[in-house]
A = this chain, B = another copy of it.
Amino acid sequence: MNKYKLRCISCGKVYEPDEVEYTCPVCGDRLGTLEVIYDYDEIKVKKEDFGKFDNIWQFEKILPISDKAYKTPLHVGGTPYYEHKKLAEELGIKNLFIKYDGTNPTASYKDRASALAIAKAYEKGYETIYCASTGNAASSLAGLSAPTKLKTYIFLPASAPIAKISQLFIYGANVIPIDGTYDEAFDISLKIGEENGWYCRNSAINPYLLEGKKTGALEIAVQSNWDVPDYVLVSVGDGTVISSFYKGFYDFYKLGLIDKIPRIIGVQAEGAAAIKRVFDKGEPFMPDDIETHTIADSISVGKPRDVVKACKYVKASGGYFVSVSDEEILNAIYELSIKTGIFAEPAGATSYAGLKRISEKIGKDSTVAIVVTGNGLKDVKAIESFVNLKKVKPDLNAVREVIKEYENKI
């Protein structure tokens, strides 16, 4: 007997895991993304089972894998959860926590999903795995699959940040840099993957990715000593990460380990706010495509795949969507760095930009967590406007002059 089943987010039809590979055959790829559902009565877990910095496999009883699954030995998850009293005070909220996922093996949140995808590829007997990605899912899949026997193909826009692209090559992946958008790379990858019989690690299409991603929420529950925040803010591209936060808290809520599900707030870049648009139009949550313009490459998605789930889950949590400008995102990177020492990539700081927008509305009695999904080292070009590399001669007087300038500025 399987420990889980799959259910279509739109029509609600329930499948056994071996009946369907990716999405609901009735509703199709975008409306028919699947949820992994469990019989919570059958899952025996208690609070003491979990450690604050252990990797994601500590949650294996609540993951759709078997005991014998291939579990990457790389330390995925167990990332820091920082409290910031001073920043909370400045923002006029009761307390602020930052879940920082830049310390994952390939330096982004996406490692949580890739770990599951690789486990599933092994279980299902595939020899090749592929994905389309804005960059982080790509480098993550390449890194986690590198030491395995799997062959890896990566489709991504050639405009992705050079650090992310460099990771792909150094991990030995087969790279297809598409001279186009993420959305184009996505559609092409699906066709190519299907005709070659490869396993698909594409956002939303593969129902198990969200289950890997939900471990971020599970960790927040453990790291907050089971007293979860009132609000969790997450940046949104395809809609899977944000959905996974609801799902993680939902699982622990159904298992009786936490007594509420936080309100989930999705933060999008103004130039790539497809899901916010759908959410604001209201039910039924029908996909909507747009052209994108934003420096936050990781969430530069015009044709998001997990629209229905993201909207349904956010609504169920009592949350909503907000969008922020590129200028707000850049300022958020800088402010987060100097105030907390956390250097985030643009999409990573987007959640903080969103919090600055809504902190007044959230109010002084609420505890808030923001999720920083990627390390700033993944895209240093994005912050080049902050860098002023004026060389100084190796001469004491020249140096003294520069110091005088700094001291006068301060």
Chain A interface residues toward B at CB < 8 A: 51-54, 72-75, 78, 80, 82-83, 103-107, 143-144, 146-147, 151, 153, 155, 158, 162-163, 165-167, 169-172, 174-181, 184-185, 188, 191-192, 196, 333-334, 337-343, 375-378, 380, 383-384, 386-396, 399-400, 402-403, 406, 410
A-B pairs with beta carbons under 8 Å apart, 22 shown: A51-B53, A53-B54, A74-B80, A75-B80, A75-B82, A105-B342, A106-B341, A107-B377, A143-B341, A144-B341, A146-B337, A146-B340, A147-B341, A158-B392, A166-B376, A171-B337, A172-B337, A174-B403, A176-B392, A176-B402, A188-B399, A377-B378
Question: A82 to chain B: which residues have CB within 8 Å?
Answer: 73-75
Instruction: Determine whether the beta carbon of B394 is less than 8 Å from that of A170.
Output: no
| A147 interface neighbour in B54, B338, B406, Cβ under 8 Å | B338
Also in contact, A178 and B334, with CB within 8 A (given A53-B53, A103-B103, A343-B170): no
Question: A334 to chain B: which residues have CB within 8 Å?
Answer: 170, 172
A175 to B140, CA, bound (A): 33
| A383 interface neighbour in B75, B166, B338, Cβ under 8 Å | B166
Expressed in whole angstroms, the minimum distance between the Cβ of A52 and any Cβ of chain B is: 8
A338 to B390, CA, bound (A): 38
Question: A384 to chain B: which residues have CB within 8 Å?
Answer: 166
Question: A375 to chain B: which residues have CB within 8 Å?
Answer: 107, 377
6 nearest A-B residue pairs (beta carbon): A180-B394, A53-B53, A377-B377, A179-B391, A166-B380, A75-B80
Also in contact, A386 and B169, with CB within 8 A (given A80-B75, A176-B402): yes
| A53 interface neighbour in B78, B171, B337, B339, Cβ under 8 Å | B78
Instruction: Determine whether the beta carbon of A400 is less than 8 Å from that of B192.
Output: yes
Also in contact, A169 and B403, with CB within 8 A (given A105-B341, A185-B394): no
Instruction: Determine whether the beta carbon of A184 is less than 8 Å from that of B394.
Output: yes
Also in contact, A333 and B170, with CB within 8 A (given A75-B80, A375-B107, A391-B178): yes
| A171 interface neighbour in B166, B338, B396, B402, Cβ under 8 Å | B338
A179 to B167, CA, bound (A): 30
Instruction: Determine whether the beta carbon of B341 is less than 8 Å from that of A171.
Output: yes
| A393 interface neighbour in B147, B172, B179, B394, Cβ under 8 Å | B179
Question: A380 to chain B: which residues have CB within 8 Å?
Answer: 162-163, 166
Question: A391 to chain B: which residues have CB within 8 Å?
Answer: 158, 177-179
| Known contacts A166-B386, A169-B386, A178-B399; 12 further A-B pairs (Cβ under 8 A) | A74-B82, A146-B337, A146-B341, A163-B380, A166-B387, A169-B387, A170-B343, A170-B386, A177-B390, A177-B391, A178-B392, A179-B393
Closest residue of chain B to A178 (Cβ to Cβ) is B394
Also in contact, A343 and B106, with CB within 8 A (given A176-B392, A333-B170): yes
A395 to B146, CA, bound (A): 27
Instruction: Determine whether the beta carbon of B406 is less than 8 Å from that of A343.
Output: no
A53 to B402, CA, bound (A): 42
Closest residue of chain B to A148 (Cβ to Cβ) is B341
Instruction: Determine whether the beta carbon of B179 is less than 8 Å from that of A377.
Output: no
Also in contact, A383 and B158, with CB within 8 A (given A78-B53, A341-B143): no
Instruction: Determine whether the beta carbon of A146 is less than 8 Å from that of B339.
Output: yes
| A169 interface neighbour in B179, B181, B383, Cβ under 8 Å | B383
Question: A163 to chain B: which residues have CB within 8 Å?
Answer: 163, 377, 380
Closest residue of chain B to A167 (Cβ to Cβ) is B343
Question: A188 to chain B: which residues have CB within 8 Å?
Answer: 394-396, 399
Question: A153 to chain B: which residues have CB within 8 Å?
Answer: 403, 406
Closest residue of chain B to A184 (Cβ to Cβ) is B394
A147 to B151, CA, bound (A): 43
Instruction: Determine whether the beta carbon of B403 is less than 8 Å from that of A147.
Output: no
